[in-house]
Structure 1
Amino acid sequence: MMTFPTFTSSQTEPRLRGKELGTHLRKHIVKNYAGYTDLFAVAGATPAQVRGWGERALDRSADWAPNLAEEMAGIAAGAGLEPWQVAVVNARTEILAAIDAIGHGECSTSVVLPESGPPRTVQTWDWHDHLRDAPILWELEPRPGHVVRTFTEAGALAKIGIGTAGLGVHFNILRHESDTADLGVPVHLIARRILDEAASVEEAAGIARSARVSASTVITVVTESDAGSIEISPAGVAVIPPGPDGVLLHCNHFLDADLAAGERHATQRPGTFDRFRHLSDHVEGLRQEDQNARALAMLSHAPGAPVCAHPDLTQPLNQRWETLATIGLDLPAGRLRVHQGGPCQVTEATWQTF
């Protein structure tokens, strides 16, 4: 069984926690940073631009969440990088928006709130195949008695995750016409603060609204009894609730009517709508208590809109997409269940519980 690297922090002070992580996962972090410099270069960014964006992201982060900026500085010290370089990894969504990079892969998320029992969630995480070694699983204690476990990229402070306060998050990228090259707070830091601080969808949305952002994303927040997809863009923040049937689906286009007016993927990446239709057509499978069944309900290799993606090696690296992970949240246990790869490779034995 293939598994992702795991790390459990023993340090609780932000800079020391970051340095400990950076020291133990130095090779992973340095390799991930190098992978992003390659991606940005192929997409048309110069080294000077990337450094400038990293420095601005670090400044914005320090203003909005000083403790998280300290943690990034600690990761840099441990990994032998500069703080702005770790900020580049955390701000990769913002830098891709600044470059105006568009691709055809990306993630699909399903949350079902059943009439009884805990939420049933699953998402695919698609990204560039040359970054398939980027993911790690990280456990930390941001405050006494509160444990956060996150599936993230080496050097990034959070992505998909769950906390012992009973709240978890899924994560999908979006694009909006208001996205700008004037870098704001990285959306990955918003996910981290939600995991660290929020206990409800409302609290999570408040954290998102407090950040000045330059790029768009959707953070789907799940608790034992509630869920909401928090759509974030420079034009504003909106919360999409589950339907009357308890189902909440999201791919890579805005669902809020006002924000959808500025949608970028609608014309440039229309496959997101086909993936959303696939999820809608397979809700009965996504309702299942068994996570294997939920993952298999995601399975689609449809040309142009695969929910389970495999890279086309004839394409340049910025246009090669692969489903690198399939992930579900176990809220009662405060744990993630993670499969390395796409739904077509799932078996009961391939799940890594963290």
Structure 2
Amino acid sequence: MTFPTFISSQTEPRARGKEFGTHLRKRVAANFAGYTDLFRVAGARPAQVRAWGERALERSAAWAPHLADEMAGIAAGAGLQPWQVAVVNARTEILAAIDFVGHGECSTSVVLPDTGPPRTVQTWDWHDHLRDAPLLWEYEPDPGRVVRTFTEAGALAKIGVSTAGLGVHYNILRHESDTADLGVPVHLIARRILDEAATVEDAAGIARSATVSASTVITVVTTSEAASIEISPAGVAVIPPDSEGVLQHCNHFLDERLEAGVRHASGRPGTYDRLRHLRDHVAGLSAPDLHTRALALLGHAPEDAPVCAHPDLTQPLNQRWETLATISLDLPAGRLRVHQGGPCQVTESTWQTF
């Protein structure tokens, strides 16, 4: 089992988007429909979702006009309206506006060894009815710079790596400052970091330049440095590795000031359990071999931390979580290593190199 791939031939944003939308028309439309179902079950009205999509498109155009153009191109190719593609890119913001609480989500580990490239791995957990949304996309934002990203059909980026030697991991957060007045979608921040940044400082500057309405953490890794950039309407914090070069993150804030405003902390104990699991398995997560690192993420509830998630089919779709991918950054090669599914399904032969 592998994720579908798409390599853009167009470099102008609107043309690139239209090419993407045309070739992936059914997937983009299905992803929008899947999010429409999720928002409905979570309590949003269709008129609210449209208004939020239009607002997200407006804020995106003000902050990064070329990315708004690319979303409009995807819409044209996929037979959708631009606000509908903006909804897919702003799904984090819409879920924050609804005040949606989820108990699953991603776990990220980065280790900077004394010698050799960074050793990274993360699980990507999301709703099981959206398991067909992910894909791998390669495009060229500038001549000579190639970006490869694991993303969802219609979303401009998520987890990824560039040939400039920088990559990002990605986890959702919740903060009391999150608001229904939609800001710049955090997925677009990840996209601009992949397209433009060469250092952690560059990435933090891009994050600080955006007015956001929802929270996330983008863990930025280069061949020599790493940091988790925690983003919320209350501010941006940069979390460095510890003295051993270890940097790990789940779905709660680590910055002391931002942590004081963490949203739904008592309702999401799994994130704290998962971070303890990561910290207890540093040896495995430090291994040069990716397969060993992935197996160090193996943990199932209720006996262990729910790092590897499986959906409870008795629950409504907005409360069903599945580890849909296990992902690592190969910075020297400018490539992603991706396994479709959770750590419990990993074998030596299931890794997809993109």
Normalised-by-shorter TM-score class: over 0.9
Does the Cα contact within 8 Å between 2:277 and 2:305 map onto a contact in 1?
no
Which secondary structure state, in structure 2, belongs to the residue aligned with residue 267 of structure 1? coil
- The ranges of structure 1 where at least 4 consecutive aligned residues each deviate by more than 2 angstroms after the TM superposition are none
**2:341 alignment partner in structure 1:** 341
Amino acid of the structure 2 residue aligned with 1:330: D
Once the 2 structures are TM-superposed, how far is the Cα of residue 277 of structure 1 from its aligned partner?
A: 0.2
Once the 2 structures are TM-superposed, how far is the Cα of residue 264 of structure 1 from its aligned partner?
A: 1.2
**2:294 alignment partner in structure 1:** 295
Once the 2 structures are TM-superposed, how far is the Cα of residue 265 of structure 1 from its aligned partner?
A: 3.9
Does the Cα contact within 8 Å between 1:178 and 1:262 map onto a contact in 2?
yes
Amino acid of the structure 2 residue aligned with 1:76: A
**1:152 alignment partner in structure 2:** 151
Does the Cα contact within 8 Å between 1:167 and 1:199 map onto a contact in 2?
yes
**1:214 alignment partner in structure 2:** 213
1:325 and 2:325 equivalent? yes
**1:161 alignment partner in structure 2:** 160
State, as a whole percentage, how many aligned pairs show the same letter.
Answer: 84
Structure 2: runs of 5+ lacking an equivalent: none
* Structure 1 Cα separation of the partners of residues 132 and 40 of structure 2: 19
Rate the CA distance shift 1:265–1:287 in 2: closer, same or farther, 3 A.
farther
Which secondary structure state, in structure 2, belongs to the residue aligned with residue 150 of structure 1? strand
Q: What is the TM-score when the length of structure 1 is the normalising length?
A: 0.99
* Structure 2 Cα separation of the partners of residues 242 and 265 of structure 1: 26
* Structure 2 Cα separation of the partners of residues 135 and 305 of structure 1: 25
Which secondary structure state, in structure 2, belongs to the residue aligned with residue 349 of structure 1? coil
* Structure 2 Cα separation of the partners of residues 272 and 46 of structure 1: 29
Which secondary structure state, in structure 2, belongs to the residue aligned with residue 279 of structure 1? helix
Once the 2 structures are TM-superposed, how far is the Cα of residue 238 of structure 1 from its aligned partner?
A: 0.2
Within 5 A, what are the aligned runs for 1:167-178? 167-178=166-177
Which secondary structure state, in structure 1, belongs to the residue aligned with residue 349 of structure 2? helix
* Structure 1 Cα separation of the partners of residues 168 and 129 of structure 2: 25
Which secondary structure state, in structure 2, belongs to the residue aligned with residue 350 of structure 1? coil
* Structure 1 Cα separation of the partners of residues 342 and 294 of structure 2: 9
Within 5 A, what are the aligned runs for 1:166-205? 166-205=165-204
**1:53 alignment partner in structure 2:** 52
* Structure 2 Cα separation of the partners of residues 160 and 347 of structure 1: 22
Within 5 A, what are the aligned runs for 1:126-145? 126-145=125-144
**1:285 alignment partner in structure 2:** 284
**2:21 alignment partner in structure 1:** 22
Q: What is the TM-score when the length of structure 2 is the normalising length?
A: 0.99
Does the Cα contact within 8 Å between 1:174 and 1:265 map onto a contact in 2?
no
Once the 2 structures are TM-superposed, how far is the Cα of residue 149 of structure 1 from its aligned partner?
A: 0.2
* Structure 1 Cα separation of the partners of residues 37 and 263 of structure 2: 24
- Deviation digits for residues 195-239 of structure 1 (CA, Å, limit 9, x no counterpart): 000000000000000000000000000000000000000000000
Alignment RMSD: 0.6
Once the 2 structures are TM-superposed, how far is the Cα of residue 295 of structure 1 from its aligned partner?
A: 0.3
Does the Cα contact within 8 Å between 1:265 and 1:272 map onto a contact in 2?
no
* Structure 2 Cα separation of the partners of residues 337 and 296 of structure 1: 15
Amino acid of the structure 1 residue aligned with 2:14: R
- Deviation digits for residues 94-138 of structure 1 (CA, Å, limit 9, x no counterpart): 000000000100000000000000000000000000000000100
Amino acid of the structure 1 residue aligned with 2:261: G
Amino acid of the structure 2 residue aligned with 1:139: E
**2:86 alignment partner in structure 1:** 87
Once the 2 structures are TM-superposed, how far is the Cα of residue 305 of structure 1 from its aligned partner?
A: 4.1
Does the Cα contact within 8 Å between 1:253 and 1:265 map onto a contact in 2?
no
Amino acid of the structure 2 residue aligned with 1:17: R
* Structure 2 Cα separation of the partners of residues 306 and 274 of structure 1: 8
Which secondary structure state, in structure 2, belongs to the residue aligned with residue 277 of structure 1? helix
* Structure 2 Cα separation of the partners of residues 236 and 344 of structure 1: 37
Does the Cα contact within 8 Å between 1:104 and 1:319 map onto a contact in 2?
yes
**1:313 alignment partner in structure 2:** 313
Once the 2 structures are TM-superposed, how far is the Cα of residue 266 of structure 1 from its aligned partner?
A: 1.8
Which secondary structure state, in structure 2, belongs to the residue aligned with residue 299 of structure 1? coil
Structure 1: runs of 5+ lacking an equivalent: none
* Structure 2 Cα separation of the partners of residues 61 and 20 of structure 1: 20
Amino acid of the structure 2 residue aligned with 1:254: F
**1:249 alignment partner in structure 2:** 248
Would you say how many aligned residue pairs link Structure 1 and Structure 2?
Answer: 353
Amino acid of the structure 2 residue aligned with 1:178: S
Amino acid of the structure 2 residue aligned with 1:63: A
Amino acid of the structure 1 residue aligned with 2:348: E
* Structure 1 Cα separation of the partners of residues 226 and 126 of structure 2: 25
Does the Cα contact within 8 Å between 1:250 and 1:276 map onto a contact in 2?
yes
Does the Cα contact within 8 Å between 1:121 and 1:328 map onto a contact in 2?
yes
Once the 2 structures are TM-superposed, how far is the Cα of residue 302 of structure 1 from its aligned partner?
A: 2.4
Does the Cα contact within 8 Å between 1:26 and 1:78 map onto a contact in 2?
yes
